[in-house]
Structure 1
Amino acid sequence: LENGGVAMDISKSLQISFMLRTRSLSGQIIYLKTPTSFLSVSLEDGLLVYEALINDNMKKQRTNLVVNDGVVRSVDINQNGLHIDGKLNANNLLLPLLVNTFGINDNLTLIIGQRSDQLPSFDGCLENIHIGITPPISFFVDGRAGNLLENTMHFKLMKRRNIIDNFCYADDLCGLVNPCKNDAVCRDLWNKRVCECQPGFTGTFCETRINRCENHICKFGACISGIDEYSCVCLPGYDGQFCDEEMNLCKLSPCLNGGNCTTAKGKYNCDCPPHFVGSRCQVLKSSKCLPSPCENGANCTVVKDTFKCDCPPGFDGILCDIQKDICQSNPCKNGATCLPKDGDFKCICTNGYEGRICEEMKDYCSTSPCVHGECITVTDNFLCNCESGWNGEHCDIDINECIRFPCEHDGNCTNTPGSYHCSCDSYHLGYY
């Protein structure tokens, strides 16, 4: 039943039993009434609720067992209370009075499913509905039951909508096209879908890459998130798993011609003797420009008994042999990490961003992947919010609404793209 129901006239003593299977939080299941009284069984927050009005005495009680877990449940209501799966779940002094109120001589009306002015309809499966001593209620329309009910006292269906006769139908939530992202496995658990994610992904549809760097810090470097682990790319002069170990750059004796080597902040510095210059004390001050002592494409100019280097952008020092810390100004955006590279810099972007300085949010919807729906960009993927009548990862699969028999009064249903059409008989009009 879904957004629909059936109505019948009955005249038997009260005892209600049925089998149900659902994942709905709320909805009307059974409504039994006389001109002055009623008995209702419904779902609220996944719990069965029964309420009654008898001789102006209103009573309502909730059960304590969650029944919207997709498990088949048996429900029995009689003068002793309400039983779920054979166990007493609710007892109330009002119930024995109901037997007398809804007696064998009363003219009662039974509505299964939706009351037009009250709760939404029950969405799920109902089977073996018994009222009193009558046979199970049939949802067959005239002519479809064959001779199954011939010569048997039974309830005649007066009106029905959105009811499927075969117990127990469930939507195929995994579908022909896997709605789960990133090679995840889709598990159909009867009107409930679970995506089993591959390592490194999370989210309802496994659409989000797990950020392994979130709780880890690379002290002097950039964190790179992998599938099951992370790694640190260290800045020059640092080492270790977390880039927290300063390398002994003086160990390799980089300073020439008697220069004194010291280290600080991942760099080494050479304190040169009076007649030598350069980052490693490698050039005599008295050198001329032939050959040029300047490095990294710098122009050399003779000045008296020495020379001068005009450094290109990104370099410093007497010989233009010292690379400036171009990352000091933190040019990378949106939490990206800056790494020096060949006189320039490189930005390691966080998930969902791109561009030279990670200034652009990736637009996974730019190709309009959702055929009949709205595209929503998530961390590093997209999701489609489908229009009514469509499903699938790209909202390109038409839902066959006629499976649920939405047309009333035996109207013929024709499925159309994204919708359906009811062909009514000569005595009825309307969309349904």
Structure 2
Amino acid sequence: LNVDDCKPNPCQNGGTCHDLVDNFQCSCPPGTLGYICEINIDDCRPGACHNNGTCIDKVGGFECKCLPGFVGPRCEGDINECLSNPCSTPGTLDCVQLVNDYHCNCKAGFMGRHCESKVNFCATSPCQNGGICTTIHAGHRCTCQDGFYGTNCEFSGYDCDSDPCQNGGICSISEEGGYHCDCLVGTTGTNCEIDSLNECNSNPCKHPEAICQDKLGDYACFCPSKHTGKNCDIYDR
């Protein structure tokens, strides 16, 4: 009499038992080994789960536990948080998908997580010298008191009153603020205070014995006897 050695089933992990004469044989499912299929092969090889998902070994396979923001059998899918249209306020330019998050790019003049707040550009009181601040689309505008100008009323319109330009320079109010000196030839600097040209380099004194002295924007010729004129070019008998 042949006893059924497969009762109860000695094969583990879902193996199929085949009764033999005074013995049995197990047909093991994929991912298992051993006489009675007792060895479960670890299917969690490196890189089995993407995007830092956690691999859980199963019989003949594995399961991935995904981090928030990822889906799929191997966590290969990045959830697009922008599909729910979180950046829907009028101040939003567009939505940028991030990992398990999103970012709203705001139009000029708006701020906040969802660009829901208008920026108060006058909150820091940018207008100086009594200027009145008005918020505009993407910034502010200052209405200046008499005598002041500039983006923030920071410049005085009377900067030329002190006659700052030297050596014949002409003072004018600059559009960028403050004043500007238009210097005569041979002078330079903020206030035309620098002699930028040696007028003697061109040898203006005509007599070979004349001595040239450089001056600010000018020169002087010291002429030998019986020679006169600006350039010692006149012979006086």
| TM-score bucket of the superposed structures, by smaller chain | 0.3 to 0.5
Flag the structure with larger Rg: 2
Structure with higher RCO (Cα < 8 A, 6+ apart): 1
* TM-score normalised by length of structure 1: 0.25
